[in-house]
A and B are shown apart, each in its own frame.
Chain A
Amino acid sequence: MTLHPNPLFSIQDLTLHFPLTRGLADLVLRQPAREVRALNGINLEISQGETLGIVGESGCGKSTLARCLVRLLDPTSGTIRFQDQNIANFKGTERQTYNRQVQMIFQDPYSSLNPRMTVGQILDEALRVHEMRPETERPARIAELLDLVRLPRNAAEKLPHEFSGGQRQRIGIARALAVEPICLVADELVSALDVSVQAQVVNLLLELQEELGLTVLFVAHDLRLVRHVSHQVAVIYLGSIVEIGPSETLFRAPTHPYSQALLSAAPSLNPEERHDKPAISGELPSPLNVPAGCPFHVRCPLATARCTSEKPLLKPLPGGGQAACHHAETSVGERKQ
């Protein structure tokens, strides 16, 4: 199933279930242990220098996947291989080196910076702990990093509360870049920002990616943003990838019924693309109770008996992507009618 010759990341069957604490009543009544099934068998490859967009509804496991990649969460089963090494085996300095190479930018710019450290201290600490620069060269490097994210140099002496949300997000980017990573995981990078500021931050990220040759995992729920940013896009539904493919192909001609519904739910500025048909019916099932078979069958207009029992696997599509649907061909056909 290898699409790329030398993927930077290769994720196999990644599963993460959070067990719920069982109360005394559950134990007495012999209720089975319940768990939140956040990720249910993710298979994914990310190649060097590419931007992979991850989209899906709230609660589908996007952020959980991002946090697994930087080892903030440990998966229940499955492996993440980074440059052909299983990241779960990294300990001590190896783990530190891994985290130096794979950095994360957080969603909330107000809680992701220590309120009691100046921007200079935040950057200096990163440079010092990872011994990126000798002590005498650190102030120059801090100035360089601030230039890189377009912040004035006197920002180093200020505390985070003196900055706006967009500026704080750029400080977060500078902190991640301080350790010269090769991969950035951006979890909802701009969802907490004003639209006018979103573009600035996203374009900065794109420029930096090109300049530094970064691999970017862009987790977002804003579809237009993901289309603008990504080379590849993966659509996640209830902790499984339902469709993955080159960004343009996927957005122009989505194959999986869920991708179709998700994309048609996005508002469009083009009047000809407007429609009154409800994009999708029903509610997202609880991850406590993931349906058997295809996770989407409860809401899918094409569902048949087979969908309720057998979970579809990702299958290559003629357009270059992959989709996990028993009716992939039918669904494309119906779309063309």
Chain B
Amino acid sequence: MDILRFITAGSVDDGKSTLIGRLLYDSKSIMIDHLEAIEKQSKNKDDGEIDLALLTDGLRAEREQGITIDVAYKYFSTPKRKFIIADAPGHIQYTRNMVTGASNSDLAIILVDARHGVIEQTRRHSIITSLLNIPHVIIAINKMDLVEYSQDVYNNIVIDYAKVAETLGLKDITYIPISALNGDNIVDKSDKYPWYEGRSLLDILETVELANDINYNDPRFPVQYVIRPQTEELHDYRGYAGKVISGVYKVGDKVVVQPAGIESTISTIEIAGKEVAEAFAPQSAILHLKDKIDISRGDIIVNKNNQPRVENELEVLLCWMANKPLVVGSKYLLQINSRVVRAVIKDIEYKLNVNSLEKEPAPDQASLNDIIKATIKTASPIPFDSYKKLRVNGGAILIDETSNVTVGACMIQ
């Protein structure tokens, strides 16, 4: 049994919350007391039906306004898999929330309203899915009950969307006709779609192949913390604690510590107190090196024959997440895994229209939810990989040094 993290992209109007509610409800992941609570609220709404959307709206303001403001995480499991849903709002003013939810997702469910087909919002959600490099995509064509379960409607949307997917280079796309409201094809296949030969949504979620998503080729180990007990019996103990974010490490591997570029050899690997011969992603481990060298938090231990780029000028696609605009020339802290350095925005090359993918002329500043291509200069070289190649070592956040708030997400090119 493993874990699948997925994001649902869509708005309340697309039936996103209903879909999540349906998944939880039909997979029997909702507890009676939670159900009673929403039943009580649903009754206030006169229509008598249980409003499954209420299950996902966690904050008072959200329930009052009937909208999703923030990313909520929901959990359910079946005998095959544990699922973590990042439930993010879908409107354009919440692009940053979708980017946040997408950053950790293995899969995106993009909801399309069967009556409206592929619209601007569908493109935006797909663009974000592609920018954040989510490996698997499900296009859930919802509200099929409102188009009389028409195979033609479904087919036309599939043909339309395939063009979008091709432009964006999205791979591994699965299409599925559903009615979240009625539960069609969510947990069980519905007999109202005799023409649909695929599987139910849950069936797909349970079987999506995740093994190939983990990179075992490019060893990257950001050091988080140095363990030095300094007791008598462990006088010389010096362990580098961190997580293998990708690749494999073996005792005897020739390694390089970046950004300093110092070479050494792995002498011991420990996992949870036991010595092991190898550690692989995404294990947390302690590495020991043969040579006494100065390594601290923020350094990254990599294989000598497979190194990241170490540079101080980065081309990034950047999603701006703060109300205060980003201005060219402003300084921020840039954090990539455990490394934090000062950085300055040197230049904006273009602004990406997230609805059309068009590159708009370079503005001199970026506003909340804008996605821009920018050049960032860092105070010292940082080790990184391109986000497209290695998601776990190509994403960085920008922090406003005066407010300490996370203001930007960078996908390094």
* Same complex: no
Interface, chain A (partner B; CB < 8 A): none
